[in-house]
Structure 1
Amino acid sequence: MHQRITGELFKEMVLSAAAYLEKNKKSLNALNVFPVPDGDTGTNMSLTMMSAVKEVKSADVSKVGAVGDALSLGALKGARGNSGVILSQLFRGFAKSLSGMETASTADFARAMQEGVDAAYKAVMKPKEGTILTVAREMAKAALRCAAADCNIYQMMDEVIEQGTQTLKKTPDMLPVLKEAGVVDAGGKGLLVIYRGFKMALDGEAVTDSAVLEADEPVADFSATPGGEDIEYAYCTEFFIKNIHESVTQEDIDRYREKLMKIGDCVLVVGDLHLIKTHVHTHVPGKALQFALRFGELSRIKIDNMREQHTELEHSEPPREKKNMAVVTVASGKGFVNIFKEFMVDEIVEGGQTMNPSAEAISRAIEKAPADNVIVFPNNKNIILAAQQAAQFSSKNVHVIPSQAFPQGITGVLAYNPDLDFEENIARMEKAITTVKTGQITSAVRESKMNGDIIKKGELLGILDGDIVCHAGDLYQTVDQLLDAMVTDDDSVITIFYGEDVTETLANEIADIVRKKYSDYDVELQFGGQPVYQFVFAVE
């Protein structure tokens, strides 16, 4: 029987939780409230955990704090979707509490759970009750009660899971959309699955899964130098600072970042006062290590001679001129990608409705962008938190425009004025995205109930700015009803983007019908090539 949680045991708990989550992700995906294909909660949480596993597998298991730090870093980097970002923040606070500990008691674990809840609530601008946050909060309260009653780790975990189960059952009473759909909160259930995986490892019944056990070792890839550019600094230097001295402050870390910028470029300092990952291109890697040694212990040091590696990159993309401001956008579909390229967007991250990119993928695009001032368009409400998390990783000045659809991103990019400064352009872009209405047509993936109305599986849905406003079995009827809800006398332009599974003939037919009905409006037809949505409409 385990009296305290060691690093080795906690590693086993994390791997068990990741495997159990992977096995349950389909049932979690099925809990989605809206009957539309999207960045499924189960998939996003599982991918976030898999990223965490990559770090945990190579962590120093002699200390539970080191395993916690690896769990946090991997989850922060790999966070996908809102559920993944919140999970990563739960682990971030958890790791902060355990940092430096060799083993953890029941009380230590309980306090770590509470710090995780505190971090997650701070990360969400408008927390909602009836979500993963509520379940996490009540589970942490149960853990603290058990710790106060001097329970052992097994008793505490049983109580935590029981409390999580009871709270999860109540989530439909807290969120009306859950009640109407007849489901519990998917993120909350995902968190409960993770803790059940923890408990199985404690009981000696750890869940195993080949996908988890065979997860690749972490690859440190924060390089922002495009292939083919002249290499100004010879050595790509990467390492972690752990067991950071208690006297170190955030101001010290900021000064450390500034010192690195004086001896090199492509500087990235990721983490907090408990674990810091450093990346820098420099001629003097030893000096970078000396700077870091003042703060704590160094681990996983990696120094590569980029000039030796340069030969194989000579024929890649040409160098790009440094700009005052760069734009990063998330996009999917050949048509939308080409549209953003035509508008001179600097970096495009592949992703969208059913494939939310990780915070690390967005972070790489930010670092690669040829400017110190970067604007990011997530173009999906489920990617905004990951984009904001990626912005925090960067030493650049990054601002996330909260665009929720591709038409908003396009309108925002078009608002750019090269004669204005960064802050003025941000204001223009944020105003611009509010001037466009987005309509989408897709098929219902399951039967559901919305606003008292039964939606059948396979029916076409008309979605206006995220809300289902109509449904029908006929495409023409759905288009007609959706545009009726979208278009007003104050509008003048209707743009139709057709998807990857729509023929050009059908797209032209729909466009002709729209032009006939809205003869006083400019109606444009463009190939979006987007998955999931047969048609996307932008009305301005």
Structure 2
Amino acid sequence: MQALDAGAVRRWADACVRSLDAHRADIDRINVFPVPDGDTGTNLLQTMRAGLDALLRTPADSVGGALTALAKGALAGARGNSGVILSQVLRGLAEAAREASTAGGVALRAALQRADVLATAAVADPTPGTVLTVLHAAAEAARDCPSDDLDAVVTAAAQAGARALADTPRLLPVLSRAGVVDAGGRGLVLLLDTLAAVITGQAVEHVATSASPRTADALTTAREAGSADYEYEVMYLLDGEPDVDGLRHALAALGDCVSVVGDGDGLWTVHVHCTDVGAAIEAGIERGRPHRITVNRFADQVAAPASRFTRDRVIVALVDGVGTARLFETEGAVAHGTDLSDLLSVVTGTRARHVTLLPGDPATRTAAAAVAAQAVDAGQDVVVVPTASPVQALAALAVHDPSRRPGDDVVAMADAAAATRRGEITVSEREAITWVGRCRPGDLLGMVDGEVVLIEPRRADVADLACRLVDRMLALGGELVTALLGEGVPEGLDRELEEHLRSAHPEVELAAYPGGQAGVLLALGVE
């Protein structure tokens, strides 16, 4: 599609309603900011449904007319803070395309930028990591898209919105602690993805929709935002040109979550959380004629927030290499790389009450301990087992027993790790003095428990060095040798190691796996 027309707007709005309906419960469930267990998904759905109902009743034959009808309907039926913001996003799209019969990439670029401005203005105290962050990223990506083609602009915006959504836990700590993304931002990404699908030619089914009846259940709501000091959510519409600043000031004196936003054509929606419902409505009467008045009570019977924890225990292994990660995952652990920049999100995202971290490298232990401390401060039980290699982490995982008390289980895992001698073969990156002499860049180093015990030139036989290293490690005894084959290891090394053990140490069993770890040719463990 090279340009949006009125028909495309109708198909998009219809698809948005269906998509929000399908994901409503999921969006409601992840709403943790500013108050847990809100109804962001429900509010977005009802607001978009009101917009679609108005659009289907309006004989618009241009993209500007269709978007204007959609925006007006959404504003009139806006529900909650998220609904108000959505109405302003749609208003921004409508204003940028008001005079156009169709809209191409240039028009969509301008529309998203206008939506960004209006939605931000609708919020008294914008917070990074929310739906506004997602919208701003989408608008900037559309602005910076090198192509003016409609499909290129919408794809760039949708992809940037998705990336910004994934980044919301980093910007908003409460999301990181809960292991979720922003609920309002999730809803906006759904709408952007749906728009991209319509423009790029994916099939969109037409489903009849109608406005939801105002039932008794609709008069009770969960608190989506604001202080628990206020008992009611009051919303109404005003026509004309009211004293907007005066109304905002009067409502702010009564409660919080105040917004007074318009459609740019004389219709305003008013929203406030307060206790004195009469005073909130009177503030509107003094400045116009309130109509479509809705008063929702924050339900006394709404269940207490569900626990953020959905399972009891999880083990997270910090290891390198695709094969190594797969090995841990097969044993039921969550495998995470050695880049720990997002480890806190991973830990909280497990939704587990108890998390055990298994570092696969000494360098990750300090960072893992810092992350564990942050998670503990937020109410999650996180413990780092002192493992210094993936083979020690495997030994610890092998004795994990979820039927034990978490504390006892951690002690057993730590004992198993401590009882496992670790060895590795690496390539020296610099010249240095070791206990067994000088090494130079490119030399092969055989190490046991972190100390260099063998040095060979780079041209040396890796398998021969591995056999001699295993002999040193078995000098103190052992029954099982675990070998993780790293990236670039010579083919057949595991077979040569097995033959050597069968000859020199027939009582010892070998377990060799393709680890794929970078920087370590061979990781060894002896138990």
Q: Normalising to structure 2: TM-score of the pair?
A: 0.46
Larger Rg: 2
Q: Normalising to structure 1: TM-score of the pair?
A: 0.45
Higher relative contact order (CA 8 A, sep 6+): 1
